Each structure stands twice: as C-alpha cells, then as structure tokens.
Amino acid sequence: QKEVEQNSGPLSVPEGAIASLNCTYSDRVSQSFFWYRQYSGKSPELIMSIYSNGDKEDGRFTAQLNKASQYVSLLIRDSQPSDSATYLCAVKGSGGSNYKLTFGKGTLLTVNP
C-alpha cells in the first residue's frame, strides 16, 4: 500500500512568518510530487509541482524535494491570513499506476493576524 504521510496539524503561525509543511512518501520510485491548497468547502487547487531533487520557488512558495529521504516540503514565506487552508501533499504513482495520485491527509494551516 503506497502511503503519503503528513502532520495533520493544526499548524499555527503569525502573519509574516514562514510556514513549513512536511510530507513523506513510501513509494521509492515516485517521480512527481504536488502540493494542493484546499480552502474549507472548496476543491483542491494546485499550487506547486516538483519533479527533481532540490528547491523550486514560485513567489512566496518554495517546494523542496529529497528523493533519497523520500521527503517533500512546502515553505510559505511572509504568511498571510489568506494562506489559512488545508495543504495536501500528493504523489504520482509509478509503473502501472503512474497516472494515479495518492494524497496525504493534509495539514491545516492557520495564519494569525
């Protein structure tokens, strides 16, 4: 059973701080990794994708991937109250399941003004 693990939180940070969200995965050969943001009552929204080891930056968001440690993280700089949401880590399958996404349970982030 391929698994994606996230700390469910809640993670609470003050406005302007850096929020750090973490994710580990069990399928060693996974190649594609994603972070989704889901506001309460809304559908998931893709915010970052990462395929290679290292960092990928997009505005205030930085995704970090370490395939050797099977670890993906998302950093949100200068956190805003509008960033308050559940963040879902997703991992694309491998081999015959390479079209499927496995989602973690999500981390609830609260940014306090």
Partner 1 sequence: SAVISQKPSRDICQRGTSLTIQCQVDSQVTMMFWYRQQPGQSLTLIATANQGSEATYESGFVIDKFPISRPNLTFSTLTVSNMSPEDSSIYLCSVVTGTMDTEAFFGQGTRLTVV
| Residues lying near partner 1 in the complex (CB under 8 A) | 32, 34, 41-46, 49, 51, 88, 90, 92, 99-101, 103-106
**Nearer CB in complex with partner 1: 45/55:** 45
Q: Provide the minimum distance between the beta carbon of 53 and partner 1 in the complex, in angstroms, as a whole number.
A: 16
- List the structure tokens of 82: 């509008």
**Nearer CB in complex with partner 1: 71/103:** 103
**Nearer CB in complex with partner 1: 96/113:** 96
Facing residues of 87 across strands? Answer: 37, 107
